Amino acid sequence: MRKVNSFRRLVGAGVIAGSIAASLVTTAPSGAAVSAHGDQVPKTALISPMAPTDHANMIFPYASGAYFTVTNMNDFQNYLYRPLYWVGKGSDITIQKDLSLAALPVYSNGNKTITITMKGWKFSNGETIDAQSVKFFLDLYAAVPFRYAGYVPGFGIPDQVSNVTASGNVLTITTSVAVNPNWFNYNFLTEITPFPRAWDKKYDTPSTDTIANTPSIAISAANCGTADYTNIVDLAAKCGYYPNSTADAYGVPHHNSAAAYNGAYGYLYYNSRPSGTGNLAAYDSSPIWSVVDGPWKLSSFSATGDIVYVPNNQYSGLPKPKFATYTQKAEASIDTEKLQLEAGQLDTGYVQPTDVSTSPKPGVAGHNLISQLSGYTVRTGGSWAFYYAYYNFNAASSGTHLVQSLAVRQAFQYGIDQLTLIKALYNGYGVPGYGPIPTLPANVFSKGLVNHYAFSTTKGIAALKAAGFTWDKNISHAAVCTKAGGCGNGITQGTALNLTYKYGTGSPTQDAQMNAEKASWAKEGIQVTLSTDTPDNIASLCTSGAGSAPTSGNPDGNGDWQICQYGGWLYAPDYYPSGELLFYTGALSNPGEYSNTTMDALIDATTKGTTALNAGKNSYAQYAMDQLPYMYQPTGTGTGEISKTLKGVLPPNPTGASLPEFLSK
């Protein structure tokens, strides 16, 4: 899985605002959509709105947690840089052979050897996308794994890969253990983005200070793509290295040195980061990022405004883009976006659930209630995602012992009236979420799973009382631990149930939901202080780990939070919902530092063992539902709009696959 918000991708928080990609040919979990009056928009232009306050901020398709988002990956990077294997088209959520850069992998030697044959497609500069292009990514991953949010120590690529060789169009991966082909295909091979040789450069002086202040520093070939995969010294010299210095909460080395990175990684990192020599404003003029293999390339990029793409005329795949330009339009608010949509100034759009008739049933759209939108069709659908909030289990830092108590987490979950929220706030455009496996679309992985925390403040109160908290329905302040010796998990006698909850705003529906939940928790004796920020800032906070705020000695930082919600998790580009990216001890998409030996063992059984993932009550998914490492929230199905004049529109795709090149007028 991608690992956050990892993250397998983090999906935005708003019930309405959602992925840009979804607004074209699919509906995202958060609800962005598609469309505009064709007679008012030039046929040479395709225009889609961004979600309010949401904007792409990382172009390098090798991102750390804060940038491992749907906005950056599905709605930006994938237009320019294609993954080795493309998943999703219309309602199909499998690997698409026609859109992938290689033939399907062949497994041999007891599933320890994987052979991949490239199709020989081209980058825009004429380079062939061959086996070395793939090895470049894999070499860099082996050298600098902790800078990629999809990394889980001990799993798959790179830790279970013993060697990688490239010869022409044939790539051979040798693993140290037998691997499950579905798991390896959908959680690891789909993460790979082939890199061109034009990116295989390094700064001759690998100093952060020098690079930041002297962008004209000498550059030479790094040769990361031809490094010896079995030799960490060679990989470090050519691809980069992660200094073995101050460890963070996971025991992972931190970047805290002026000469922290060398090789190809340092070159690419410093030209992609939002500040320094690789600032966002340089994305559209960079000789690095102009080498693409996707159907589109950047024409103009604004860090806060519109993003404009034009066709990549050297794109090897089909279909080719049919519009001269594709614009992602920055929006100040949902209201301004809706006015533009009503005026026919957009080719895609999204509305509030109350702007359309009630959903007849989950995943089925009603009709528009706004007369100006008669030229549009409402779009909705299930997504391969679930929504949640993180708990900070690191009580030694900014966390709290309170959330280490299962009883407290149970009370939080009991206090969320998901069915009423979906009916009252989502107008039926949502599905309840009680664990890490989506229920819409229907899938084999969710069969046999049982939710034990249906809404009941009475049961929430009972759980807290059993743990030793005194609750009085006649008082308005927080319940208090009155049990002699404390209430377990480090909760001392006299501790009150006061917690802070930070979340990304931008959607009135989201704000209403959070206030409704706060009121419900208060009835159980839990007093919650809500705090909001922009989606980008919350994404950075939620994914930065449990601990202290960033400092000069620890520039990566650890988030200062107790409960943090950015939105949810989309299983893409890690599509197999096996749990290691989110729940395994030390996973980079596990910033709340949840750690449980039983959970680890259950995940091991399905990824390193032979147990079927859909093992019902004995699965990691059921354990995750029962132990509540996350606070599960409703998942919106979206209320998007698509113009009736657009042609080539595919059914909504649950994985968020965005294919604007399929559209025409």
Q: Coil, helix or strand for 316?
A: coil
> How many alpha carbons lie under 13 Å from residue 96 in its C-beta half-sphere?
20
* pLDDT value, residue 386: 94
Note whether 425 and 554 are same-domain residues.
yes
Residue scoring higher pLDDT (513 or 153): 513
* pLDDT value, residue 463: 97
- pLDDT grade for 210, boundaries at 50, 70 and 90: very low
Note whether 111 and 236 are same-domain residues.
yes
Mean pLDDT of 81-100: 95
Above 60 in pLDDT, residue 28?
Answer: no
Mean pLDDT of 599-624: 86
pLDDT by residue (tens digit) across 395-420?
776 678 999 999 999 999 999 999 99
Note whether 649 and 587 are same-domain residues.
no
Integer Cα distance of 36 and 326 in angstroms: 13
Q: Residues 392-408, buried b or exposed e (16+ Cβ, 10 A)?
A: bbbbebbbbbbbbbebb
Note whether 210 and 186 are same-domain residues.
yes
Integer Cα distance of 87 and 85 in angstroms: 6
Which uninterrupted H or E stretch holds 513?
helix 508-524
Above 70 in pLDDT, residue 257?
Answer: no
Note whether 488 and 425 are same-domain residues.
yes
Above 90 in pLDDT, residue 32?
Answer: no
Residue 94 domain-assigned?
A: no
Note whether 352 and 500 are same-domain residues.
no
Could you tell me the CATH number of the domain that includes residue 272? 3.90.76.10
Integer Cα distance of 82 and 99 in angstroms: 9
Mean pLDDT of the chain: 84
- pLDDT grade for 610, boundaries at 50, 70 and 90: confident
Could you tell me the CATH number of the domain that includes residue 617? 3.10.105.10
Mean pLDDT of 74-82: 96
- pLDDT grade for 213, boundaries at 50, 70 and 90: very low
* pLDDT value, residue 557: 45
Above 80 in pLDDT, residue 151?
Answer: yes
pLDDT by residue (tens digit) across 106-117?
999 999 999 999
User: Tokens in use for 271?
Assistant: 């030209």
Mean pLDDT of 450-476: 90
Residue scoring higher pLDDT (542 or 521): 521
* pLDDT value, residue 387: 94
Q: Which residues contact 201 (CB under 8 A, 6 or more apart)?
A: 219, 220, 221, 222, 264, 267
Lowest mean pLDDT of 142-146, 259-263, 300-304, 365-369, name the range: 259-263
Q: How many domains does the chain have?
A: 3
Q: Is 136 exposed, middle or buried (0-12, 13-18, 19+ CB in 10 A)?
A: buried
Above 50 in pLDDT, residue 552?
Answer: no
Between CA 59 and CA 67, with CA 62 as vertex, the angle to 5 degrees is: 65
Above 80 in pLDDT, residue 208?
Answer: no
pTM, two decimal places: 0.85
Note whether 513 and 564 are same-domain residues.
yes
Which of 276, 292, 308 is the last residue in one of the domains? 292
Residue 152 domain-assigned?
A: yes
Residue scoring higher pLDDT (55 or 101): 101
* pLDDT value, residue 601: 94
Q: Which residues contact 128 (CB under 8 A, 6 or more apart)?
A: 120, 121, 122, 169
Mean pLDDT of 357-386: 94
User: Tokens in use for 412?
Assistant: 């939080």
Above 90 in pLDDT, residue 611?
Answer: no
Above 80 in pLDDT, residue 577?
Answer: yes
Residue 420 domain-assigned?
A: yes
* pLDDT value, residue 206: 56
Note whether 399 and 364 are same-domain residues.
no
Note whether 164 and 44 are same-domain residues.
no
Which of 271, 292, 313 is the last residue in one of the domains? 292
Note whether 609 and 648 are same-domain residues.
no
Residue 92 domain-assigned?
A: no
* pLDDT value, residue 266: 85
* pLDDT value, residue 608: 79
Expressed as residue numbers, the domain containing 207 is 102-292
* pLDDT value, residue 275: 62
pLDDT by residue (tens digit) across 629-654?
999 999 999 899 999 989 999 888 99
Residue scoring higher pLDDT (399 or 518): 518
Residue scoring higher pLDDT (628 or 51): 628
Longest dimension (CA), the chain: 75
Note whether 498 and 590 are same-domain residues.
yes
Which uninterrupted H or E stretch holds 599?
helix 597-607
Note whether 152 and 235 are same-domain residues.
yes
Above 60 in pLDDT, residue 36?
Answer: no
Residue 67 domain-assigned?
A: yes
Residue 246 domain-assigned?
A: yes
- pLDDT grade for 22, boundaries at 50, 70 and 90: very low
Above 70 in pLDDT, residue 242?
Answer: no
Instruction: With CA atoms as reference, report the closest residue to 48 among 378, 348, 323.
Output: 348
Residue 180 domain-assigned?
A: yes
Dihedral sign, CA of 415, 416, 419, 421? positive
Residue scoring higher pLDDT (344 or 166): 166
Above 70 in pLDDT, residue 311?
Answer: yes
Residue 302 domain-assigned?
A: no
